[in-house]
Amino acid sequence: SPAEKATSSNTKLASGDEWIADFDFEAFSKEVRALGKKLEDGQGPADVAHLNKMIMWSNTCAAVGLLTMGFGVNPISIIGLSLYTFSRWTMIAHHTCHGGYEKCHPNKTRWSRFKFALGTLWRRFNDWFDWMMPEAWNVEHNNRHHYNLSEITDPDLVEQNLAFLRNMNIPVFLKYVMVGFFMTTWKWFYYAPNTYKELKLARMRRDGKKIPEDVHPEEPITVKDCLIGQNYFYSFFELMYVVLAPYLLIHFFLVPLPWLAVGDYMGAGNTMYWNAVKNLFLAELLTNVHGFIAVVTNHAGDDMYRFRRACRPFSGSFYLRQVLASVDYHMGTDLVDFMHGWLNYQIEHHMWPQLSMLSYQKSAPLMEEICRRHGVPYIKQNVFWRLKKTVDIMVGKTSMRWFPESFENEYLRIDAAAEAKALKSQ
């Protein structure tokens, strides 16, 4: 058995890893693969109707925010605008860009991962307008993160990306202050430049360009790195011109322009316009915090595993890693799931990234039951508890687990043998 072969190298399982000794790797993989196919085959009009419902909720938040943001700085506008930005990214764009509605949506010209928000600024503005360039996010998230989860090449590996903070010799209190700064700025300060780096890196590899030996592509890129010239892949001017400036100028200063006319009509001058601008900026801070809590916490904590070697997509190792390096949050109703941005189904989403939001609601109890029967740790906790665990990783208070190397290698060997057998039978 895989366990016998792995343990023949005198591997002693650490506390918390004992489940691996009796784990049936091949049976687990077979069940997960079958469930994914069943879910995908079952998608149809109900999934499209559910998508339209979530779009209506998201657009309602936008309408509330846009129609009230000129009447002074107020929480209604800020929350509405923040929720719209959050939901348009984490729910509508996220699942569409993964191809979640390609096979079941009748409108193939828009709801396709190859067309949604891509190609022109107009499409970006209409489909998904945010700090991140959609083409860059598709490479960084859909490819690099999903298929290198919790490996050193995972661009979203919190423990690796925050190594500088973990190792910084300063009071812990100051580390928490820095985390607070990251929470309110991370989308434009880190995520937009780092996703753009991954796009540039992918183009270099496609064109056969060699990366200099002194350049480490796995290291994160931030706005600060661009400002001080420590970015090999592009200049600060390029980052602003291509990625950040369109959103900065249009979203924060052009979108609220109608409030100039309203203010002039009501005798308020430009006050209503600047009220709208202030609400947009405050909503930006809030949506960054909301996104941080729901997004960054998905794969960090002292109960999450890391891996040394890459695995084949949708292999047995791939499926196992998605459970061991992901966490679900409280779930079950559209309202609860909307507030989590549907990121509370992270295990299921990483298993089968091409599914719809409705399919994840259906799949979670089935996936949890499979893990229970096979003894695989399936972690589902409150998102704020996961925030604590993530911050503990960021400041160096705790560290992630490493999956036992002998078992990792044995599972990869089984995957390779299964793939060779499948190719031979074709």
User: Can you state the angle between helices 357-374 and 25-41, rounded to 10 degrees?
Assistant: 160
Burial class (CB in 10 A: 0-12, 13-18, 19+), 402: middle
The letter for the amino acid at 72 is G
In Å, what is the CA distance from 222 to each residue of 12, 185, 188, 229? 40, 11, 9, 11
pLDDT in tens, the chain (426 residues): 665 665 555 568 999 999 999 999 999 999 999 999 999 999 999 999 999 999 999 999 999 999 999 999 999 999 999 999 999 999 999 999 999 999 999 998 899 999 999 999 999 999 999 999 999 999 999 999 999 999 999 999 999 999 999 999 999 999 999 999 999 999 999 999 999 999 999 999 999 999 888 888 888 999 999 999 989 999 999 999 999 999 999 999 999 999 999 999 999 999 999 999 999 999 999 999 999 999 999 999 999 999 999 999 999 999 999 999 999 999 989 999 999 999 999 999 999 999 999 999 999 999 999 999 999 999 999 999 999 999 999 999 999 999 999 999 999 999 999 999 888 877
In angstroms, the CA 65 to CA 77 distance is: 4
The pTM for the full model equals: 0.94
